[in-house]
Structure 1
Amino acid sequence: MNLLWLALGLLLLPALWLLLLPLRQARGVHAAQQAFEAEGRNTEQNVTVYRQRLASLEAARERGEIDAARFDDSRLELDRSLLEDAEGQRRSPLKSPSAGRLLVPLIMLTLVVVSLVWYQREGAQGDLAIYNVYQQVRSSPDGSLAMLVGGLENQAALQPDNPKVWLSLFPLYRDSGQFDKATHALQRLIELQGRRPGLLAQLAQIKFFAANRTLTDEVQALVDETLAKQPHQPTVLGMLGIEAFDHGRYEEAIGYWREAIAGFGDAGSAAALREGIAVAQQRLGIAPEATDQSGAGGPALTVAVELAKELRNRAAPDDTVFVIARDVPGKLPPLAIERATVADLPLEVTLDDGDAMAPMARLSQVDEVRLTVRVSPSGQATPQPGDLVGEAGPVTLGDAAAPIAVTIDRVVD
């Protein structure tokens, strides 16, 4: 914290120096302005012009070109013009170069005070205090989870409106089984950050486990609100799978868990759900699916691809051919994809888990797939008008001893 205030002080020094700079230059600027005004000759030039014009008027009167009344009017106008010019050239006397010197320290003090107050209100001092709690626990020989929780609880009392302190406390409460405190931390987060689907899902899950894995009316209301905002929210789907498994609805549990796997970004959560799917499949008396995540392995499917004769003149030899396997409901990303060219047709390709686009969407997660083969002149993965396509399925994995034939026979509109 001392380093923070030192850094703020160092940042203020240039600002204070800029405030002092005009004061240090005031005497030189005053002397230069005074010299300029002393050398000014505008008034002298105006008087010279006045005398010349007056002499011209007098000469015109003597020659009889203007009468006395005309002469008086013209001279009056000339006098008025000289007075106006002289009035415009009048300058207020210069103030002393030391005038206002006392105001500069007052402005400097105001700048310092306003900067500190602004930082107190808008800065990250609270986040820095949370960071210091973690640092103190790590550096202390007696550091422990209880010490960390105690420090964060002190910060929660000091800064109850900082969402980061509650975000730090929530997983500590949850993992230590303090469901009441974890629920309170989540509720404070929701009050501060709004009813976000991720927070609502966590709150539903905490209340679900606190109620001995029971889908109470309160939990169901949170589930409904979450899925209305984010239909494929993985935390809620995983929880619903647990509830279905506990009540013997194994097929329903498998469906929830497969859909949840597509939404989880970490391999650990996906692997745990796959293990759950394998157990549910055993309870159903069917062979559990492979859970190996190393790449290739698990179920495989051979696809025989050919291009219909009537479309051969619409495809160039170097056009890209995509062979894609998807889950039948279409809720997951592509489970497997292979790439070739029209010049390779007809061809046979084998799809397995090694052809997955993402670790959370593989052939081993499903029992049936739909096959799509697409010829893309642009080489883009997304379908474009004019692409050629062929489809087959649903195909049950493990039942297809012979290659599955797919003919590219229509044009994408």
Structure 2
Amino acid sequence: MTLLWIAFGLLLLPAVWLLVTPLRQAPELHRELTEFEASDTTAEQNVAVFKRRLASLEAALARGDIDHERYAEDRLELERSLLEDTEASERRPLQPATAGRFVIPLVMVMVVVAAVVWYQYEGAEGDLALYAVQQEVESHPEGSLEMYVERMEEQAQRQPDNPNVWSALFPIYRETGRIPEAVNALERLIAIEGRVAPLLAQLAQIRFFMAGRELTPEVQALVDETLALDPRQPTVLGLLGIEAFDRGDYETAVDRWRRAIASVGDPNTEQSLREGIRIAQQHMGIAPDDAEAVASGPGINVRVSLDPTLAEMVDEDATVFITARDTEGELPPLAVIRTTAAELPMTVTLDDTTAMSPQARLSMVDEARLMVRVSSSGQATPQPGDLFGELSRTEVTAEDGEPVEVVIDRVFE
């Protein structure tokens, strides 16, 4: 930031130099004007012209060319003309060369103050601070995503009204699974930028997945508000397609996804939506839009069981979430299956058809981390008392293989 203000001062130097220039040139200009006035003979020339015209007028009177009345009128006109010329040639005394020298420094100070105040309101000092954070983390020997997030959170406290802070934090929170923080960042961004369709659509999407892919009243309200602003908003249309697909309404899902494709700008998202359409058409028993059949992609066979010592803690209608994530924890869940404890033990297949979002699919990674959680409340986020089991690393394979075992044997504290 010090460099910024140094650069700012350097940019002000030309303006200050222009303001000082008249003060530096004043002595020379005063000398030239003094010499000009000293050598000016305009008054003498006007008097000489008056005398010549008066002599001519008297000669005409002597010859009898004009009478005395005409002579008096013409002489009066000559005298009036001389007075006017003499009055116009009178000059005020020249001011000293040092006159007004205190005004220039005052104007200089006012220019500097006005420039600084304007920059405080209209400048990009906050964004430069964000850029400095990025450069610091990139050049740091131990720079990491965690360090970057920590530095950005510090900036969020210093400049909470800068939308670029929250627009940088939101995707990081979302992709690293810090969903409550992601929602808070997105809501802060909406408070600053206004309730515009793209931001409302993202909020609706994240709350939809937080609710276990259910169209809750809160999510429905956000969807309605977004569509009122932009009926072709692709994120919301994709969300509605997922909800319809989960209900088995494949025809509606295809319609929503086709409308989303018409407005989406990301090629990867478009391809994911097209894959979803083909899968929905297969469920409907009709030929896919593309002649080439599309498989569900690589996946993981998982056998889920409950530790017998914990069986008494689980009701049969408790919700079971079977989730696959990337091993680095940088992406949203890649695949999710929701079932009940009454179905345990069970064997399921996680693949692209069980993806939560077209932007995060199991086929995007070679290995995944599996987590199975039993929730008596049915909440998508872990709650104290939930039971869980996990497998830290398993291969995503394109061929059917033996199921990997995940045992629910621990309790969330």
TM-score above 0.5: yes
- Tell me the residue number matched to 1:45: 45
Deviation, structure 1 residue 44: 0.6
For residues 68 and 267 of structure 1, what CA distance do their matches in structure 2 show? 106
- Superimposed CA distance per residue, residues 135-167 of structure 1 (whole angstroms, 9 cap, x where no aligned partner): 222233443434323322332233233221121
- Tell me the residue number matched to 1:170: 170
Q: Is the 8 A contact 1:271 1:291 kept in 2?
A: no
Deviation, structure 1 residue 110: 2.1
Deviation, structure 1 residue 69: 6.0
- Superimposed CA distance per residue, residues 16-64 of structure 1 (whole angstroms, 9 cap, x where no aligned partner): 2222222222222222222222222211111112222333444455556
- Tell me the residue number matched to 2:208: 208
For residues 278 and 81 of structure 1, what CA distance do their matches in structure 2 show? 102
Residue 290 (structure 1) aligned to one of 293, 296, 313: 293
Query: Are 1:105 and 2:108 counterparts?
Result: no
- Superimposed CA distance per residue, residues 231-271 of structure 1 (whole angstroms, 9 cap, x where no aligned partner): 33221122112212322333433443344344433343344
Deviation, structure 1 residue 286: 6.7
Q: Secondary structure at the match of 1:248?
A: coil
State the percentage of identical aligned residues: 60
Query: Are 1:3 and 2:3 counterparts?
Result: yes
For residues 246 and 53 of structure 1, what CA distance do their matches in structure 2 show? 112
For residues 145 and 33 of structure 1, what CA distance do their matches in structure 2 show? 70
For residues 25 and 17 of structure 1, what CA distance do their matches in structure 2 show? 12
For residues 80 and 236 of structure 2, what CA distance do their matches in structure 1 show? 92
Q: Is the 8 A contact 1:60 1:66 kept in 2?
A: yes
Q: Aligned runs of 1:384-403 on 2, under 5 Å?
A: none
For residues 91 and 149 of structure 1, what CA distance do their matches in structure 2 show? 73
Gap runs ≥5 in structure 2: 296-413
- Superimposed CA distance per residue, residues 362-384 of structure 1 (whole angstroms, 9 cap, x where no aligned partner): xxxxxxxxxxxxxxxxxxxxxxx
Deviation, structure 1 residue 202: 0.6
- Tell me the residue number matched to 1:236: 236
Q: Secondary structure at the match of 1:93?
A: coil
RMSD value, Cα: 2.9
Change (3 A) 1:79 1:272: closer
Change (3 A) 1:67 1:151: same
- Tell me the residue number matched to 2:94: 94
For residues 263 and 79 of structure 1, what CA distance do their matches in structure 2 show? 88
Q: Aligned runs of 1:192-207 on 2, under 5 Å?
A: 192-207=192-207
Residue type matched to 2:293 in 1?
A
Q: Aligned runs of 1:146-185 on 2, under 5 Å?
A: 146-185=146-185
For residues 66 and 281 of structure 2, what CA distance do their matches in structure 1 show? 125
Q: Secondary structure at the match of 2:16?
A: helix
Gap runs ≥5 in structure 1: 293-413
For residues 164 and 276 of structure 2, what CA distance do their matches in structure 1 show? 33
Q: Is the 8 A contact 1:61 1:71 kept in 2?
A: yes
Q: Secondary structure at the match of 2:96?
A: coil
Deviation, structure 1 residue 194: 3.1
For residues 65 and 238 of structure 2, what CA distance do their matches in structure 1 show? 113
For residues 133 and 243 of structure 1, what CA distance do their matches in structure 2 show? 40
Change (3 A) 1:287 1:87: closer
Q: Aligned runs of 1:181-330 on 2, under 5 Å?
A: 181-277=181-277, 280=280, 290-291=293-294
For residues 48 and 272 of structure 1, what CA distance do their matches in structure 2 show? 100
For residues 73 and 246 of structure 1, what CA distance do their matches in structure 2 show? 112
- Tell me the residue number matched to 1:127: 127
Q: Is the 8 A contact 1:274 1:291 kept in 2?
A: no
Residue type matched to 1:185 in 2?
A
For residues 256 and 60 of structure 2, what CA distance do their matches in structure 1 show? 113
- Superimposed CA distance per residue, residues 174-211 of structure 1 (whole angstroms, 9 cap, x where no aligned partner): 22333333233223333333332211211111221222
For residues 42 and 281 of structure 2, what CA distance do their matches in structure 1 show? 105
For residues 272 and 67 of structure 2, what CA distance do their matches in structure 1 show? 118
Q: Secondary structure at the match of 1:195?
A: coil
- Tell me the residue number matched to 2:397: none
Deviation, structure 1 residue 89: 0.4
For residues 78 and 263 of structure 2, what CA distance do their matches in structure 1 show? 92
For residues 107 and 25 of structure 2, what CA distance do their matches in structure 1 show? 17
Deviation, structure 1 residue 129: 0.9
Query: Are 1:21 and 2:21 counterparts?
Result: yes
For residues 204 and 160 of structure 1, what CA distance do their matches in structure 2 show? 23
For residues 184 and 277 of structure 1, what CA distance do their matches in structure 2 show? 33
Deviation, structure 1 residue 125: 0.9
Change (3 A) 1:281 1:85: closer
For residues 193 and 51 of structure 1, what CA distance do their matches in structure 2 show? 83
Change (3 A) 1:237 1:52: same
Change (3 A) 1:267 1:54: closer
For residues 155 and 202 of structure 1, what CA distance do their matches in structure 2 show? 23
Residue type matched to 1:83 in 2?
L
For residues 209 and 26 of structure 2, what CA distance do their matches in structure 1 show? 74
TM-score relative to the length of structure 1: 0.62
